[in-house]
Amino acid sequence: EDQVTQSPEALRLQEGESSSLNCSYTVSGLRGLFWYRQDPGKGPEFLFTLYSAGEEKEKERLKATLTKKESFLHITAPKPEDSATYLCAVQPSGTYKYIFGTGTRLKVLA
Amino acid sequence: EAQVTQNPRYLITVTGKKLTVTCSQNMNHEYMSWYRQDPGLGLRQIYYSMNVEVTDKGDVPEGYKVSRKEKRNFPLILESPSPNQTSLYFCASSLSYRANTEAFFGQGTRLTVV
């Protein structure tokens, strides 16, 4: 069964304290892996798409990487405005549906 | 402004009373989908549509119906709502089902069924 698991469920960081969020997935094949950010009361906002193992993408303090079994979202020197829930989603091969993980709630303290 | 618009934002209804949540996008996107978000369960896809008149089930389609008669609109229909359909619902659209492009999400509809 296709599955996406995110860890940790919640993470508290001091401002400037770098860390990584994990997204592990079990699918028969991968069409794409997506990272989204969700603020309270709002819809998710797109961050990155990764397609193949070894791929990396960066945006400001965020960097996403992909292996054959998992993806990491690295947050370098986070700021309080990075506080949000970060969601990972995959689209398995042979299908056009999306499977989301339950997210990591990140809180960055000033 | 490019956007996905859902209506209503908030809805309280009674068990068994048919309702429709509307979703409209102004980006000429082919792919549209509906999700529900529940604490501890995350976002789960209900239905998706690859283009006009083409729809398919996601992971939790029971109790829901959809239609895609026009490219911009993708309404979600609950013919006989039950309390277990109380949830936060999101509509999303993306350029094409062929390319794994980003999805744009609406602001959400918080539905309570009593």
pLDDT category at B44 given cuts 50, 70, 90 is very high
Q: Give the pLDDT of residue B96.
A: 85
Q: Give the pLDDT of residue B98.
A: 73
Cα–Cα dist B88/A41, whole Å = 10
Of A39, A47, A28, A10, whose CA–CA distance to A99 is shortest? A28
Residues of A in contact with B105 (CB under 8 A): 43-45
Residue with tokens 């997506």: A34
The torsion angles phi and psi of A81, rounded to 5 degrees, stand at -70, -5
Dihedral sign, Cα of residue A10, residue A52, residue B51, residue B55:
negative
- CB atoms inside a 10 Å sphere around CB B72: 17
**B19-25 vs B42-51, strand pairing mode:** unpaired
Angstroms from A62 CA to nearest CA on chain B: 17
Identify the closest residue of chain A to B3 by CA–CA distance: A43
CA B41 to chain centre: 17
Q: Who among B41, B44, B97 is closest to A96 (CB)?
A: B97
Mean pLDDT for B96-107 is 85
Q: Does residue B99 have a pLDDT over 70? A: no
Q: Who among A32, A41, A87 is closest to B43 (CB)?
A: A87
Angstroms from A86 CA to nearest CA on chain B: 11
CB spacing of A100 vs B40 below 8 angstroms: no
Identify the closest residue of chain A to B96 by CA–CA distance: A96
Q: Does B45 touch chain A (CB under 8 A)?
A: yes
Mean pLDDT for A81-89 is 98
DSSP string, B29-60: -SEEEEEEEETTTEEEEEEEEEETTEEEE-S-
**Per-residue pLDDT tens for A21-78?**
999 999 988 999 999 999 999 999 999 999 999 999 999 999 999 999 999 999 999 9
Angstroms from A49 CA to nearest CA on chain B: 7
Angstroms from A52 CA to nearest CA on chain B: 12
Q: Does A46 touch chain B (CB under 8 A)?
A: yes
Q: What is the DSSP letter of A82?
A: G
Percent of chain B clearing pLDDT 90 (strictly above): 90
Q: Are B49 and B66 contacting, i.e. CB atoms less than 8 angstroms apart?
A: yes
